[in-house]
Structure formats: C-alpha cells, structure tokens
Amino acid sequence: MHQFLKYVFTLLILLTGFTFMWAQPQLNSPYSRYGMGDLANSNFAPLGAMGNVYSTFNSVYHINPANPASYATLNYTAFEMGVFGRFGELRTANDSTANSSSGNLSYVALGFPVFNPINRLTTKKDYPFDWGMALGLTPYSNVGYNIETSSESPIYGEVIYRNQGYGQLYKLFYGNGINYNNLAFGFNVNYLFGRVRDDKTVIFNDLPLSLVDELRDESNTQGFLMDLGLQYRLRIDKKIEDAEKDRRKEKTYLSFGATFTPGVKATSKAHQLYIRQNFSDGVRYTDTISNVVNRKDQMQLPSTFSFGVGLTKQSKWKLGLNYEGTTWNTFSSPNHLDDLNFSYKVGFGAEITPDQGAFEAYQKRISYRIGAFYHTDPRVVGNNQLTNYGITFGFGLPIVILPGGNKYTHVNMGVELGKIGTPDIIEENYIKATLAFTLNDNTWFYKRKYK
C-alpha cells in the first residue's frame, strides 16, 4: 500500500505542475468567445484515433475515463500522458483566410487494478469480481481569441472594437469500476475548476482626445460533476468443450455501453472592471466606472448521456459505434448569455492488431486504428448552429521495457482531419496530431515470498 501512496503523491505533484503549464493560453479560435469556449475532447489517444467510440471501449492496458465502468478491465497499472498540436486554416464567407495553431498537454492519468486475474494468481484467492481505479486531469473547455473589427459612424467616424479572451477549465477526476459476470458499473467524481478572462475595448479612432471604453470580465469556476457508466459484454462465438482450450481461445463478444452525467450547478466568482481611459501629452488618465469583486453566480451545467455498441475479438480487433447527446439548451450563466442548442455526436471506429504475440514480426503487434465522427456544436452564431466532422486514424506501438515482460510502454499516435464552423461566417479546416505514452506495470500487487 505504501507504494500505491507513493505513486498517488507523485501524480498529484505532477498534476499541479501540469495545471500551471496548461494555464498558459495556447489557443487561437474566434468561436471560443461564445458559450463556455471550445469544449475539449477528453478521450485519450487510442479512442481519439477511433472516432471517439468510448461507451463500449475497455482495455487491459489503457484508461478510458469517458466510461468509468472500463476501469474494471485493467490488468496493468497504467500511467498515461498525451500532448497535441493543432493547425488550421480559417476561411470567412468572403474567402478571406488566416492560419491558426495551438498545442498543449492533452491529459495525464493513473489507473490500476485492485482485483483482477493477476491478483487471483498471486494471492491464490478467487475474487468474485474485478475492480479498477483511476485518477487524472483532463481539460474541459478552452478560450483563446483576439478579434478586432471596425465600423464607420457618420458622427464619430471609425469605431474599433477589440475582443480578447483566454483561459481554461479543467476536470480533476477520481473513479472506480467493478465488473461481475461480464456486467461492469463505474463512476467518476470530477472537480471542475478554472479561470477565464474576456476583455472588450471600444476606440473612437477619428476623435481627438476621445475616451477609450474597456470592460474586463474574469470568472473563476468551481463545481463537482458525477459520471456514471455501464458496460456489458455477451459472448457470441461457440464455446469449446475442453475448458483449457476454451480459456486460451480468442473469444468474440458483442458489447453494450452507456454513460450519464447529470446536470449540476457550479459556482462562479465574477470580477468585472469597467474603465474609461484618455491619453493626453503622454499621460494616461483612467476613470473607473464600476468595479465588481467576488460576485458569486450560479452556473447550470447540462446533462450528458451516451450509448454504444461494439464487436470485439479480444486482442485481435474492435469495432464500435457511439452516440452522445448533451442538453446545452438547459445551460444558464450570468456570464455566458449566448444561445446554445442541444448537441450530439456520432462516431464510428475500428482497431485491428494482427498478432499481439508475433515477436518475430513487430508490424503485426502494432494496433492500427481508424474512425469518423459528426458533431453538432452547441454554439449558435448568426442563427447557424456550428458543426464539426472529420476522420481519424492512428497507431499503437508496444514496447517491452524489461525482458521479463512485466513493464511495457505503449506509444500511441493519432491524427484527426476535420472541419468546424459554418460557411456563412467562418469555417476552419484543421489537422490535429496527438502523441501519447502509456507506461504499464503488472507488478504492483505481487506479494513477494522471498527476498
């Protein structure tokens, strides 16, 4: 147990450092000024390369926090971390273009089995269920934009409007999953936190000695979310009468999965400063119109549900279809008055590993992944609801660290080619590349008999 506490303490230190790194603005997205910003895809790299089919996905090596029921499948302790880079081209309705780029950490997490088949061998106890845990940090939403527009007034001349925003919300999660007789249930407790700042400036460019209006709006959000998950698998291949041969056989399963995150209220502390400035003879004069400090607001977060179906042949291949819906039309916040609609996501994905035990042919041990998705974004701009769709693909590269086979590293690479926005205003074609590392170790719960 002391080793477990050591790993958890180390992870908490890493999470603190990663939070400071995430806090730096790394986004350039004009649509992030609406709603809660760009909602982050919290799926880990293997799922991101498979069209985000998370409801039925589970693995003995990888963590799937999107459905906490999957934790019960873990056979190895897994420390996972991912980074991403995103590059895009923004195109307006009149064919003006601009480039955008961003990059940052994607996630960091630790998952481990408490009761699993390896425990049964080492402790010689036949537990009636499997049990896994996980904790980690993932982004929830991102804000990063810098927009300047202008208009001509017959009275004031040119008026310049500047809008700038930055910030991020995160989810710190802890969850458990238990599996009994091929039915798994799990939950996550999430702590939502983060800070977002929006600045608005109005400049009367043609008026000498005119006042510059500036509104600085900052909100600090805190709250708790609960994720619930279910997974069930049904064996559909023919059982072999010989028990030992049947145990070694690659079995085929039809899988079902579902998740639910109930809508809750979060607390937001608002800081609003409204000032007017004037520059004369090299001196800046500032007049404070209003200053609101630590105003407590309530934010109603939406409910999210998902369900999926999958077909799996154990270590050989996986197929999955996923649907997710979120009631963003019920969202409310004094700091976010934009129109939001119900949103949904549909994804399809596949993974194939030709031969996991083919040590003489490394390419056969690589996991090859592909997928596609379609997403209606909750944000409505100019009476148009944004859409996001694309294709995904990637690879999982297994690496054995120690000759004994107790420690592995999986290097997962994923690429997403997509389009987001609406052609009537701004549309973005983008490519997002993810590089992730999973360190696996199956010796955590070995009871050593000899020294």
Q: ∠ CA(110), CA(115), CA(117), 5° rounding?
A: 105
Please report whether residue 40 resides in a domain: yes
Q: What is residue 2's predicted lDDT score, i.e. its pLDDT?
A: 45
Please report whether residue 448 resides in a domain: no
Number of domains in the chain: 1
Q: Which stretch of 6-10, 118-122, 142-146, 184-188 has the lowest confidence by average pLDDT?
A: 6-10
Please report whether residue 450 resides in a domain: no
- The rounded Cα 439 to chain-centroid distance in angstroms is 20
Range of the domain at 214: 2-441
Please report whether residue 171 resides in a domain: yes
Q: What is residue 432's predicted lDDT score, i.e. its pLDDT?
A: 95
Question: Residues 323-355, buried b or exposed e (16+ Cβ, 10 A)?
Answer: ebbbbbeebebebbeeebbebebbbbbbbebee
Of all residues in the chain, what percent carry a pLDDT higher than 90? Answer: 55
Mean of per-residue pLDDT scores for the chain: 86
Looking at residue 392, which CATH number applies to its domain? 2.40.160.60
Q: Which stretch of 147-156, 186-195, 293-302, 373-382 has the lowest confidence by average pLDDT?
A: 147-156
Please report whether residue 451 resides in a domain: no
Please report whether residue 275 resides in a domain: yes
Which helix or strand (DSSP H or E) is residue 419 part of?
strand 407-421
Taking the alpha carbons at both ends of the chain, their separation in whole angstroms is: 18
Instruction: Output 55 or 282, whichever has higher pLDDT.
Output: 55
Please report whether residue 53 resides in a domain: yes
Please report whether residue 105 resides in a domain: yes
